[in-house]
Structure 1
């Protein structure tokens, strides 16, 4: 066999493989932050449109005058934009500041969100302005070994996930969350970890969860990453 012909064939095969891999990569990037049918993207992949900084909690906000709330919101927004940034289609938190909240309030809904943490990471998803669907490093402490996805602040109803379904630290994880009334279902990486459990009102223990409030990305002073945040409102 002619060595030149062999080299040509090898080069051609390698070229096809590289082109194929680049095509797959580009397709993946195109799909990033693109909602599935019936869902709306809460994050556009470019900036923090639709999001605002955290002011207090549902109880304290309800007690504020419109003027005081507006002033506090302006300060909170400035702080949020200092510490929550968008990079390559990902929301990145630098470990400082407060939660990032949807401007719009949500009642009954389904949502998807991809998240990633670093070693010793600790975070969560607030539903209706209330803590929280837990995110943490399951190797960090004994209590964390149950894994992410539980309704951490429940006292009466179950608070832990049924199994640890976390991917290794540094890899992306996906939550599917459904909230109807005061009940929440959570899948972590396609595994059911919370099945129709009541979410309690952390801010006012003697009351049921608020009927409508913001969705929040919570922080505990760690670097965090979020992407592909989609929501579908339910009746």
Structure 2
């Protein structure tokens, strides 16, 4: 019986390793190395590392110790994968193609596109179309809502390759679109970002985890070049 259990464990482990082949960790589970708060050189104290989890604590983020957390590196064609969960009534987001130029762009979302992270039922944004979990924020409503209950872990994936964008939530494709073409420009023109110069125009940029003033957790953050 022990041999069977061990064999099953090794098989499962092997599957997990195979599934993550080609991915590199963006978060080491121990520190915020590789990340910093937008426009700064290090991560604010609001971003805590706790037992392999990156936790945004709004209380610790007071006095300028918060801000969106961004990668040091920029990415062009990529497959990003991570787990997230939110506290009741919380809002956050995974923002990508961020052009970090704080003198010109005050916020990550001035340039970057966002996959929404939200308590759909508890936060007021959940009442707004294209603002719910899994949506390409304010641009495209997700095809379905496979999001889990508040406090449970969700797995999000963002795949961008040569202009083709796919958003996946809990193994379900929720958004598919083509970036930067005429149709995409029409989507921006019909959104809150219509008059924002630079929004959604960069084809290479940083990845950010949003400080929206609410408690949120991220883990297993990894990326693969496409």
Secondary structure in 1 matching 2:45: helix
What residue is the counterpart of 1:153 in the other structure? 138
* Aligned residues of 1:182 and 1:209 also touching (Cα < 8 A): no
Q: Does 1:195 align with 2:164?
A: no
The equivalent position to 2:34 in structure 1, one of 50, 55, 77, is: 50
The structure 1 residue matched to 2:149, chosen from 150, 161, 168, is 168
Match of 2:68 in 1: 99
Separation of aligned partners in 2, 1:192 and 1:143: 21
Shift of 1:146: 7.2
CA distance in structure 1 between the partners assigned to 2:137 and 2:38 by the alignment:
20
**Residue 51 of structure 1: CA displacement?**
0.6
TM-score of the superposed pair, with normalisation by structure 1 = 0.69
Cα distance in 2 for residues equivalent to 1:145 and 1:109: 23
Tell me if structure 2 keeps the 8 A contact 1:138–1:145. no
Q: Aligned pair count?
A: 184
Pairing partner for 1:177 from 152, 158, 161: 158
Asked if the contact 1:147–1:163 (Cα under 8 Å) also holds between the matched residues in 2, the reply is no
CA contact (8 A) 2:113 2:200 kept: no
CA distance in 1: counterparts of 2:137 and 2:25, whole angstroms: 26
Can you give the 5+ residue segments of structure 2 that lack an aligned partner in the other structure?
A: 99-111
Ranked by relative contact order (alpha carbons within 8 Å, sequence separation 6 or more), the top structure is: 2
Counterpart in the other structure of 1:118? 87
What is residue 51 of structure 2 aligned with on the other side?
A: 88
Conserved? CA contact 1:137–1:144, under 8 Å: no
For 1:121 and 1:179, locate their aligned partners in 2 and report how far apart those are by CA, in whole Å. 27
Conservation of the 8 A alpha-carbon contact between 1:112 and 1:231: yes
CA distance 1:208–1:112, change in 2 (3 Å): closer
SS at match of 2:213: coil
Determine if contact 1:139/1:145 at 8 Å carries over to the other structure. Answer: no
**In terms of mean alpha carbon deviation, does 112-121 or 35-44 score higher?**
35-44
Name the structure with the higher helix share. 1
1:183/1:216 CA distance change after superposition, 3 Å: same
3-state SS, counterpart of residue 219 of structure 1: coil
Counterpart selection for 1:39 from 10, 14, 23 = 23
Give the secondary structure class of the aligned counterpart of 1:111.
strand
Question: Corresponding residue for 2:107?
Answer: none
Cα RMSD after superposing both structures: 3.0
Conserved? CA contact 1:146–1:164, under 8 Å:
no
Look up the SS of the partner of 2:92 in the other structure: strand
Q: Following TM superposition, by how much is the alpha carbon of 1:36 offset from its aligned partner in structure 2, in angstroms?
A: 1.1
Is the alpha carbon distance of 1:83 and 1:91 closer, same or farther for their aligned partners in structure 2, counting shifts above 3 Å?
same
